[in-house]
Structure 1
Amino acid sequence: MPGIIKLYVRWVDRVNRFIGRFAMYFVLVMMAGFLYSTIMRMAFNVYINWMMESAQFLLSAYYLLGGGYSMQLDAHVRMDLLYSRWSPRTRACMDAITIWLVIVFLAFLLLGGISSTEYALVNDQRNYTAWAPPLAPIKIIMTFGIFMMLLQTLATFFRDLATAIGKPIE
C-alpha cells in the first residue's frame, strides 16, 4: 500500500480512537443527570423537564461519535454463519467487497445529515417540547459522527484490501 494510504489509516484510527474514548464518558454524564433529576424529584418535588431530552441528545452523540471507534475495534454485530471458518485473507476479500454497501449507506446518511443540519441552522429549528432546545448543535454532532464513521469505513476498506493482497497495514 502507498505511504499516503497508510498515513490516512493511522490518522483516522487515531482520531476515532480519541473521539470514541471521549464519547464513552457521555454515559457517566447521563447517569449523573438522571441521578440529579431523581434526587430533585424525590427529595424536593421538583421535576427537571429538560433531563430526558438531554439524555436523548447525549445518547445520540454517544453512539454516533462512538461508531467509528467500534468499527475500528470490530465490535459491530456480524452475521457469522461462514465467516469464522474462513482464513483472514478470505475474510478481508469479502469485507473489501461488502464494505461498499456500508460506504454507500453512510454517504447517503451524511448527505441527509448535512441537509438536516443546514435546515436547523437556517431556520433556528427547535424541538417541540416545553424546554424547546435548539436542534442545530446535536445535528452538527450527529453529522460529524457520521462523517467520522465514513472515514473509518474507508480506512477499514484500505486495511482489508491490504490484507487481501498479502501486505497488511499494521
Structure 2
Amino acid sequence: MSPLLGCARGLDRLATGTGRLLGWFTLAMVLLQSAVVLLRYAFNGGSVALQDSVVYLHGAAFMLGLAYALQTDAHVRVDVFYRRMGKRARAWVDAVGTLVLLLPLCAFIVGGSWQFAAASWAVLESSSSAGGLPGVFLLKSLIPLSAFTLALAGIAQFCRALARLMASESDTAPTPTPRKTPADTAEEAGA
C-alpha cells in the first residue's frame, strides 16, 4: 500500500466515523421533532429548548456531513462529462478540482468564519428565544470545523487521485524488452 493511499484511508476513517455519529444525530433529530409535534398537538404544549435542539442537530448533521458526503461520493455532481471519462481523466479532474477549487474554498470559509465563531465564543452566545438552549457559540463553531473536515476529506480525495495517476503512469509505461543472450537464442533454435 502506498503512503498516499494510507493517508487517504486514515482520513477516510475519520469521515466514516463522523458519518456514523451523524446518523445517530439524525435519529435523535427525528425523535425530538416527533416529541415537539406530540407535545404541541396532543398536549397543547411545547418546549423552545426541544425546538432549538432539533435546529442544533440539523445544523450539526448538515455541516459535519459535508466531509462524509465527499468521501462517499454522495454529493451533488453535474457530471455531464465526468461520467464518460476514463479512470485516468477522472483522477486528473479530482486532483485538479481538489487543489484549485475545493481546498481554496475551504480555506476561505475557515478564514471568513473564524472571527464570526470567535466573537460568539467571546460572549458565550446563547439562544435569543426565552427558554432556548444556550450554546449558540457551539453551533457557530461548526462552520469553520465543517470546512476543516471537508478539507481533510479533500486531501484524502487528492491522495487517492494522485495514487491512481501514479499507478496508471506505471501501468502505461513501456516495459523494456529483455535482451536475448546467446544461450536464449540457442535454446529457441533447438526448441
**For the residues of structure 1 that align with 2:168 and 2:122, how far apart are their CA atoms?**
48
> Which residue of 2 is the match for residue 104 of structure 1?
104
Give the Cα–Cα distance (whole angstroms) in 1 for the partners of residues 124 and 149 of structure 2. Answer: 25
Q: Which residue of 1 aligns with 2:6?
A: 7
Aligned to 1:164: 165
Within 5 Å, give how 1:107-126 maps onto structure 2.
107-126=107-126
Instruction: Give matches, 1:77-156, under 5 Å.
Output: 77-99=76-98, 100-132=100-132, 133-156=134-157
Structure 2: give runs of 5+ residues left out of the alignment.
170-191
Within 1, Cα distance between the matches of 2:122 and 2:168?
48
In terms of Rg, which structure is larger?
A: 2
**C-alpha separation between the residues in 2 aligned to 1:61 and 1:118?**
18
Secondary structure of the equivalent of 2:94? helix
Q: Which runs of 4+ in 1 moved over 4 A?
A: none
Structure 2 SS opposite 1:9 = helix
CA drift at 1:29: 0.7
Q: Which range moved further: 8-17 or 157-166?
A: 157-166
* 1:47 and 2:46 matched: yes
Equivalent residues of 1:89, 1:166 under 8 A apart: no
Separation (CA, whole Å) in 2 of partners of 1:167 and 1:115: 44
* TM-aligned CA deviation for residue 162 of structure 1: 1.7
Q: Please, what TM-score do these two structures have when normalized by structure 2?
A: 0.78
- Structure 1: 5+ residue runs without aligned partners? none
1:127 aligned partner, one-letter code = S
Q: Please name the residue that 2:185 is paired with.
A: none
Deviation at 1:167, TM superposition (A): 5.5
Contact 1:60 1:142 in 2 (8 A): no
Write out per-residue CA displacement over residues 35-57 of structure 1, whole angstroms, 9 at most, x where no aligned residue: 11122222222122233322121
Please provide the CA RMSD for this pair: 2.1
Shift in Å, 1:134: 2.7
Moved more, 37-46 or 126-135: 126-135
- Between the two proteins, what is the percent identity of the paired residues? 28
Bigger CA drift: 31-40 or 111-120?
111-120
Alpha-carbon separation, structure 2, partners of 1:84 and 1:12: 25
Which amino acid in 2 is paired with 1:113? S
CA distance, structure 2, for counterparts of residue 18 and residue 127 of structure 1: 29
Relative to the length of structure 1, the TM-score reads: 0.87
Checking the alignment, whether the CA contact within 8 Å between 2:121 and 2:137 is kept in structure 1 is: yes
